[in-house]
Structure 1
């Protein structure tokens, strides 16, 4: 496959499209934040991106405090899109069936008829969408968060009538308003790969090109929060919809090719030490109470590896490590309170600590750590 051609396509993508591509390539999940006035439009933009850019299916879940586990399980199903591959497709049929049974039944021999049948957990024509967009997931109950965590970790979900396996290309997107991420379950946040803030000035190019959003509506914003671009500065929405209702801009084979390159990305010892130093400095920062978990470190290295082929590289650079840190930690880091700041154990004055922590946000912590850690030449 022509990797230069794929890199050229990547350069034409918006930051929101790049976030979706990274998750598809890494086979992970993400949080997308948008201003309240743009939340519905961003959900539509993600749906159009899923269909036109990647040729995949999508489902939008409008969550609230009335959302039940049954609603959650049913709303992420769509008509079967013909993608037979799933996370269980590489396992023999009998083994897949056994993996879905309670542990107490694993010692029982399977009925011969079942061992000869192909695995088919779905008795209907419905299947889990490739990209599930859970809007306002933070407003739902803790049981729904646990169900989302089950879906992310085990790649399947139980409904009243069936067990639905996630497709091979599957991304769960939590679409939230700013400053609501900490309302998600802490374990769910730790399992989510990256977070991305959709800046209002980025616009909604796919909806605009399709004529669904006028320029004035696309540019409205009451709050503009600074955010580091995911890969490149936002390109102007000049791309024509030549691929609309046609072949996907980035096909499944190209996504699979990028995924296969991830294990072969090279790390120099200096760059690997740089990554580990960022993790250590992040964990020891005075304003950090938690969130720098082993899972976050694994995602950190995975994101760095996934970024390299999108830049046409087969090795990791320090700039990619710094870029990855800004996407891995914002939704994970838990800031400490003045009463729990660790220097109080050694006699610090609580009023001085309170002044030091006043106004500190997660982005400040990340910037501070990146400024302290020495960058390899």
Structure 2
């Protein structure tokens, strides 16, 4: 078992930030939002394709949603072309539910069951309106991809294509023997199903002390009571917060720390992943102190420029950290 954990730890250490976000969601059996600057979204999309295929052995489908996308467009658009029976098999089902929660995709002609594992990623441009509060709450974590984070899979693919182009240009000068194609063996994914199962078992073994559990819930209370927060600190967010704290503290997903218990630093890290896409900043006229006579202009001055990230960091600084 230790050899298996060491092998998985080496794999985890080789992952990019995007790949790690995907891994966390696969272990938790949840879904995520990825944000990037508008000019980067196309490149991030292309990066996610080999992440799905080469890193985790998943088949992917891409659906670009606009204000004109209908439910029928969405239902049929996410089906993997030509592999519906393998990945979204036609299975009879009753009732209706969201795809994210119920793992069912309802089209006009069938009910398609989601595969296992199944990951839904919402790729959003940073300057676009957020998803509705209810839909946001269903996503486990959010990850912001910055330009300097790099796109290693896409860059590797571009290097290979560049090498092929160079080889093609040389062929007009240097004669080479014709290529003899052999049987192509599909590339094995970096993370196999057994690896994900091992990670899930490790997460179930993580311990949390009463002091650290109190720290986690104090953060939730302080978030709810923050004057700039209008909403987003839901019961589902609390469950996700607790789940992610266990995953972040797994000895495999925190290889640099080698922890099998939850530390306060892991709680803070989980908070920075769980709440950015959920917290709604209040309008000055709705700030709670207005109920007992605060000046609207004074409240506007206090709330001016306050971001979700500011709220999270202020709460983390305010809550006493257990020793």
Would you say same fold, with TM above 0.5?
A: yes
Aligned to 1:269: 210
Deviation at 1:245, TM superposition (A): 4.7
- Of 247, 250, 260, the residue aligned with 2:201 is 260
1:319 aligns to 2:265 (yes or no): yes
1:281 aligns to 2:229 (yes or no): no
> 1:96-115 to 2 correspondence within 5 Å?
97=92, 100-101=93-94
> 1:2-81 to 2 correspondence within 5 Å?
2-78=4-80, 79-80=82-83
Aligned to 2:281: 335
Deviation at 1:66, TM superposition (A): 2.3
Aligned to 1:152: 100
Aligned length: 293
Aligned to 1:250: 191
Aligned to 1:363: 309
2:30–2:119: 8 Å Cα contact kept in structure 1?
A: yes
Aligned to 2:149: 202
Give ranges in structure 2 of 5+ residues lacking alignment.
Answer: 163-184
Give ranges in structure 1 of 5+ residues lacking alignment.
Answer: 89-95, 103-146, 216-243
> 1:227-242 to 2 correspondence within 5 Å?
none
1:345 aligns to 2:291 (yes or no): yes
Deviation at 1:65, TM superposition (A): 2.0
1:334-353 CA distance string (max 9 Å, x none): 11111111112222222111
1:208–1:214: 8 Å Cα contact kept in structure 2?
A: no
Q: CA RMSD in A?
A: 2.4
Deviation at 1:268, TM superposition (A): 0.6
Between structure 1 and structure 2, the one with the greater Rg is 2
Residues 1:158 and 1:179: Cα distance change in structure 2 (over 3 Å):
same
Residues 1:250 and 1:359: Cα distance change in structure 2 (over 3 Å):
same
Aligned to 1:131: none
SS in 1 for 2:201: helix
Residues 1:85 and 1:64: Cα distance change in structure 2 (over 3 Å):
closer
1:85–1:168: 8 Å Cα contact kept in structure 2?
A: no
What CA distance in whole angstroms lies between the structure 2 residues aligned with 1:163 and 1:82?
A: 12
Deviation at 1:181, TM superposition (A): 5.2
SS in 1 for 2:126: coil
Aligned to 2:177: none
SS in 2 for 1:313: coil
